[in-house]
Amino acid sequence: MQADYVIVGAGSAGCAMAYRLSEAGKSVLVIEHGGTDAGPLIQMPAALSYPMNMRLYDWGYKSQPEPHLGGRRLVCPRGKVIGGSSSINGMVYVRGHAGDYDHWAESGADGWSYADVLPYFKRMETWHESGQGGDPDWRGNGGPLHISRGPRNNPLHAAFVEAGRQAGYPVTDDYNGEQQEGFGPMEMTVYKGRRWSAANAYLKPALKRPNCTLIKGLARKVVLENGRAVGVEIERGGKVEVIRANSEVILAASSLNSPKLLMLSGIGPAAHLAEHGIEVVADRKGVGQNLQDHLEVYMQVASKQPITLYKYWNLFGKGMIGAQWLFTKKGLGASNQFESAAFIRSRPGISYPDIQYHFLPIAVRYDGQAAAEGHGFQAHVGPMRSPSRGAITLASKDPKAAPNIFFNYMSTEQDWEDFRACIRLTREIFAQEAFAPYVKHEIQPGADLQSDAEIDSFIREHAESAYHPCGTCKMGRADDPMAVVDSECRVIGVEGLRVADSSIFPRITNGNLNGPSIMTGEKASDHILGRRLPSSNAAPWFHPEWENAQR
């Protein structure tokens, strides 16, 4: 088995690269440990809490005990299925803020400023909302990835946006367009009522070409000869074999598994590799370091009116929604229910938003457990740019062993200040006139938790990952000792090997990471093919008073 390019991981970035490289006439082999994404639990948007909690589709990882969160081990779902995490995620589509990518470029990822990445976001999208306000000039209309919005029929969605306006925040028609900051509609990767994962958008069309093949197997390590990657050792059907790459090997195995594979292959911090008896091929101390994530809490409010999705929270209701979706691909089953959103700044002096809201017209946990209160609604809220950094390390040199995942959440005083601001600013939004007909009382944290110490205790017990791990194979300049790949995604110090997935992000972007991960695959493909789209000269919006005003 051999091809020009061997891609490890059929996730968000891997699928995009398989599509673009095969489109350009290259032969491509994609290695994926997981199986098919067929079936309603993945394809039905409203069923999103199921695949995320199924070992069939999820690697089942957990963090190490987190010392600043009371020693809790947080779940860390990653997709083990074609489409990767885009097949088990919440389908929320956020590009990130222009300031995120400009920061990447300033920190050494040359050619990845917002002007450089915007053309790739436009190339990958087909945007379905041009009649609904928003920014058609900033959006794509011919790409494989379909982006839509929910119907926002529930009056609570409008109440959330109006409450933001009443509190003095901007309203934005399109947070993925010129202006991210403000309250407005949320976007999702849903098309014709189905989850539009990277598998549906990119991989399945690519596999129809004769030069693209999918192999089911567990990647064990990259095979290196004389400092050059020549293939990937995989295990399938109980046998170990090598898949040869004529041109390059590309790791797109996630921010947890890409650094693990590099280390198993002898690329990483020399002392750590030596502990596990792995021969060092390239001493790159940044491999596995710089781990970042978004942490959030669910602010839940009991509803005065029985208008929330709780009325469907029973076997009959779920059965009705499921049946309608199966036969028509319409109704509540066709939305992830995240239909209103906001991005705001926590304090003056911050140039672009550092808090994100997902609004949901039901009080429920991510794992599908409803609040005991019955009718309610909630906002997921958390800071976007935590200064805390964690690491991925090897637990063992056995390729089947999970890596050690340590986020080191909430390890700085700034984390706590930012999170307290999130909770207090959210309470202020829920206290606006727009919510008066609906707010009964605060379920969680609960109105009696007011002091810093009480709020901190709530965060320690209840903060959850938003499942946005990234940063563990940082992109940067060759003279940066912590950089793992250069700005063309080539692993520094090894020939014929690239990494292209969320692990290469120098710093986490605003919002959900599926969009930026797919963009990374799109842009990496052009680096591999020796071409690039011309930069954009669009000027994104920053609040004119950001230095002196919080809103």
* Assigned token pair, 379: 């906002």
Verify whether residue 441 is a known catalytic residue: no
Query: Is 154 assigned a ligand-binding role in the annotation?
Result: no
Query: Is 90 assigned a ligand-binding role in the annotation?
Result: yes
List, in order, residues 6 or more apart from 156 with CB less than 8 Å away.
Answer: 303, 307, 308, 359, 361, 377, 438
Q: How many Å from the N-terminal Cα to the C-terminal Cα in the chain?
A: 58
Distance CA 180, CA 510 (A): 10
Sheet containing 125-127: give its strands across.
125-127, 145-149, 187-188
State the sign of the Cα–Cα–Cα–Cα dihedral 162, 165, 167, 170: positive
Distance CA 129, CA 4 (A): 38
Query: Is 299 assigned a ligand-binding role in the annotation?
Result: no
Query: Is 410 assigned a ligand-binding role in the annotation?
Result: no
Distance CA 313, CA 363 (A): 11
* Assigned token pair, 374: 């019955």
Distance CA 434, CA 483 (A): 48
- Sequence length of the chain is 551
The helix or strand, by DSSP H or E, that contains position 236, with its residue range, turns out to be strand 228-236
Distance CA 158, CA 365 (A): 22
Q: For 109, which DSSP code?
A: -
The single residue of 68, 97, 358, 468 carrying the catalytic annotation is: 468
* Assigned token pair, 97: 């803020």
Q: What are phi and psi of 235, to 5 degrees?
A: -120, 125
List, in order, residues 6 or more apart from 55 with CB less than 8 Å away.
Answer: none
Contact 246, 4 (CB under 8 A): yes
The helix or strand, by DSSP H or E, that contains position 303, with its residue range, turns out to be strand 295-303
Among residues 173, 197, 193, the alpha carbon closest in space to that of 183 is found at 173
Contact 347, 550 (CB under 8 A): yes
* Assigned token pair, 427: 């309470």
List, in order, residues 6 or more apart from 245 with CB less than 8 Å away.
Answer: 2, 3, 4, 5, 6, 29, 229, 230, 231, 232, 496
395 CB neighbour count, 10 Å cutoff:
13
- Strand residues in 458-539 grouped as ranges (E): 464-465, 497-499
Query: Is 336 assigned a ligand-binding role in the annotation?
Result: no
Per the annotation, binding residues for FAD are: 81, 89-92
Per the annotation, binding residues are: 81, 89-92
Residues annotated catalytic, as ranges: 468
